[in-house]
Structure 1
């Protein structure tokens, strides 16, 4: 299906409610099995939150901002169009939801470190218990961690300085960004472990706000520092899940450490090469790769520098921030108390993602989420359903990912689409606008 969509792009850009709404308001449907698989993995409640956000953002706020003249440009324009206008409301929702969700985590960290620590100490100041069950030869020596941490921070600081220079970000500021990234990663890991949500967007924005204070007016420094914090929190969360899985199946932590080192080293070459090839073959940002999150980062950095918001966007940002602060508090409270209805309370981050992306991004995932809901309802829950559905969904994602490499090779060698029949101008990747 992915290969067919390469030669006939309309397959992945179907006008959902006619060509007018597709062309003017970007309402198309992408029946991507990768999107469907991601929806299955995400689950019905999350995809439902995403599509609620999509309906509010693209069905209400986007037309409203256009007709009121607050976003006079083309709807899809991220600077002067409705898509750029609703981006600010999305940013307010993400930051509010992330920060409110982090509150209990921060409180728990403080409580654990400052109060519970006294309980685990004996009169002589030594810890009474050690819960480590691994032998020394299977563990990663602490000196490896310290040397690796110091070396990577030093190398990272030098590389950032070589690429961006003193005008981009000062070496001391980069170093401070790494330190802050490490601290925020602790919060991200705790939040992910307790709520199954890693609030990396909010953590990145915290770092951006901090660097707007210590290096005011420097957009490059702001984005780099925020990127370091968000990437650190994201990777820390992924590693936590990997290492926890290894712990459950009694895998050697040292063997996992070796595997992560090899994978991380190879990924430098793979990702840089892949991005270079994609950048040559496709327009980035463009119809195939709009990169909406990049505009969120750039928009916040510019806001912190200039202090200017699109007309009336501040009113909607404040209103939605208040609403989702209350929703996030209710969801966090219900989650920590293991209430059955917690998963049905809308996720602010998922809701905001529905704003960021065009309807085609969310609708196919809703199909996957609905399949997940029906399947587990029929078999009697996830406990009885096993992982069969997740394996199928992973196959959907993997299949499209592998074939996308073939598509990239075809485009690199100048083999274009077979037909643009049915395509809406400007919405089909690979077709001339």
Structure 2
């Protein structure tokens, strides 16, 4: 059965301007009551058993995909829209062959997305920056069971931290959370039988199959394959007497990287190409000629260039975050009343729908001591430092959530180093404590910010927020159970990280900040110190130019994040990112409707197909079913 037509998410945005005339006073005085009376759909199916199961399965798949992507690129990609399209296609197929009788409803899909996003975001929040960084710094990690418990508890605290933040930022202030709004639009289009939107499911499936086939053809090295696709093709020129490919300047035959590039702006794409050319075409060859870099290999070049790239990323991230000072000020101003009771608690219109305010402190009272105990037992963090991490994580959650709601960008690059700096001062000289205390603080705060994007789509669609809360806890369990064994499979030792296979740039930056806090810049070669200083100045300059340059000049100012990332990852990856961004931009300019219908699902399909096949091939090799 088709669902009745419903207003678009923009129309559902409750504000005095968008409310009907007779409801404007009510919306202005109490937007929550207006939402309850005009938007909430309490009678529809939402958190069903099949939605939970589908969310845990699809969320686990998205978590695997994101793990592969973040080790490749340093970026953790959004998962909710892709998960909702996959669920819609899967349930449609099952109903088509007669295995299901009832439609998979819009709100069921939204609940499924809550489960899937909590699982998929297990790689975010600094988790897959901190743990690989710890492995690089110490060479060891705690046993897998303990790591699963660590991820689950930290992420669950993020779910509890989101309770009061959601009510303030989504219900009352109604921050836009653009990705959450886009998810609501996608769900309405899919379940409203919009043929163009339904076609996205087909595009995603076809692209996923192509991505998987290319990855298998390239990586399997099976004896029955007449010819294996090469991983890279060197560009046709030499630098310093060596082929361009030796300097990582090659075409990477990876649809995953092209797909990821299509999801970033063209500005970020050409900035990455520029960074790759500057670093691997000019700076690295000069450093090799001078003997500063001992050999022509990615790992040797990266050991030197890391400090320049990290400085660009950290300085630009911190300054961009500082320019959000109004959001930060509002966050601190709201903290005093955020967790207090409503003036008329007994008249709370959403008392039976929202999570009770008491769940927030109860969650921290139950799970907080577990986090402190795990920090002490697994990472030798003093108990008092673990206790400090708990309130600090809430502050970080409030700040990160507001920035995410206003800009659609979770400030991981800024808040990660900030928390490391805090613990660098509290626990000087303790590498493990610096990394994992910061992981606890940032993990809780940033995870809550990511999950609020999902709660925004539920608010627009009229979903039950209490059911979304439980859905996210189911997702946390699924994600934690999957991410640790998958990480151990892909990264059996620290030697795998920082290579062309898995550059892990975000982990390199995290580890670099910890080393700097412990040893100071004096441990670096003088040229690396100059590079770090130049990177710092460049990151600040690019942010200032982006903010203050004339409007017509801004398209020609490089993206600081794109430029910094290109210095840290292989040049071949940056070239692929640029190609993806250029193709997507060409389609948007020449074939806007085709671009709208294909760019997101095809890119997501390439990423999911290749990453999952990459993990499958790694499993087959680990079990001796395929040559290594």
User: Aligning the two structures, in what range does the TM-score lie when normalised by the shorter sequence?
Assistant: 0.7 to 0.9
The equivalent position to 2:591 in structure 1, one of 379, 389, 408, is 379
Scaled by the length of structure 2, what TM-score is found?
Answer: 0.58
Structure 2: distance between partners of 1:299 and 1:169: 20
Structure 2: distance between partners of 1:133 and 1:370: 51
After superposition, what is the alpha-carbon deviation per residue over 1:98-129, rounded to whole angstroms, capped at 9, x for unaligned?
A: 111112222343257559x99xxxxxxx9999
Segment drifting more, 207-216 vs 325-334: 325-334
Q: Name the counterpart of 1:140.
A: 355
Unaligned runs of 5+ in 1: 119-125, 418-429
**Contact 1:201 1:230 (8 Å CA) reproduced:** no
Q: Name the counterpart of 1:236.
A: 448
Per-residue deviation, 1:201: 2.0
Q: Name the counterpart of 2:215.
A: 2
Query: Are 2:572 and 1:360 aligned?
Result: yes
Aligned length: 400
Unaligned runs of 5+ in 2: 1-213, 222-227
Structure 2: distance between partners of 1:139 and 1:369: 41
Structure 1: distance between partners of 2:601 and 2:349: 31
Structure 2: distance between partners of 1:274 and 1:351: 30
Secondary structure of residue in 1 paired with 2:263: helix
Identify if the C-alpha distance between structure 1 residues 373 and 233 changes in structure 2 by more than 3 Å, giving closer, same or farther: farther
Identify if the C-alpha distance between structure 1 residues 88 and 27 changes in structure 2 by more than 3 Å, giving closer, same or farther: same
Structure 2: distance between partners of 1:403 and 1:379: 31
**Contact 1:3 1:407 (8 Å CA) reproduced:** yes
Q: Name the counterpart of 1:416.
A: 626
**Contact 1:281 1:411 (8 Å CA) reproduced:** no
Query: Are 2:417 and 1:205 aligned?
Result: yes
The equivalent position to 2:433 in structure 1, one of 216, 221, 242, is 221
**Contact 2:327 2:402 (8 Å CA) reproduced:** no
Secondary structure of residue in 2 paired with 1:322: helix
Secondary structure of residue in 1 paired with 2:507: helix
Aligned ranges 1:225-264 → 2 under 5 Å: 225-264=437-476
Query: Are 2:501 and 1:288 aligned?
Result: yes
Secondary structure of residue in 2 paired with 1:29: strand
Structure 1: distance between partners of 2:552 and 2:495: 45
After superposition, what is the alpha-carbon deviation per residue over 1:22-71, rounded to whole angstroms, capped at 9, x for unaligned?
A: 56322232121121111112232222222222222222222222222333
Structure 2: distance between partners of 1:300 and 1:251: 42
Identify if the C-alpha distance between structure 1 residues 296 and 247 changes in structure 2 by more than 3 Å, giving closer, same or farther: same
The equivalent position to 2:510 in structure 1, one of 286, 291, 297, is 297
After superposition, what is the alpha-carbon deviation per residue over 1:403-422, rounded to whole angstroms, capped at 9, x for unaligned?
A: 223212321232335xxxxx
The equivalent position to 2:539 in structure 1, one of 324, 343, 364, is 324
Q: Name the counterpart of 2:276.
A: 54
Aligned ranges 1:385-424 → 2 under 5 Å: 385-417=595-627
Identify if the C-alpha distance between structure 1 residues 298 and 136 changes in structure 2 by more than 3 Å, giving closer, same or farther: same
Per-residue deviation, 1:158: 1.2
Q: Name the counterpart of 1:272.
A: 484
Structure 1: distance between partners of 2:367 and 2:273: 40
The equivalent position to 1:34 in structure 2, one of 256, 274, 278, is 256
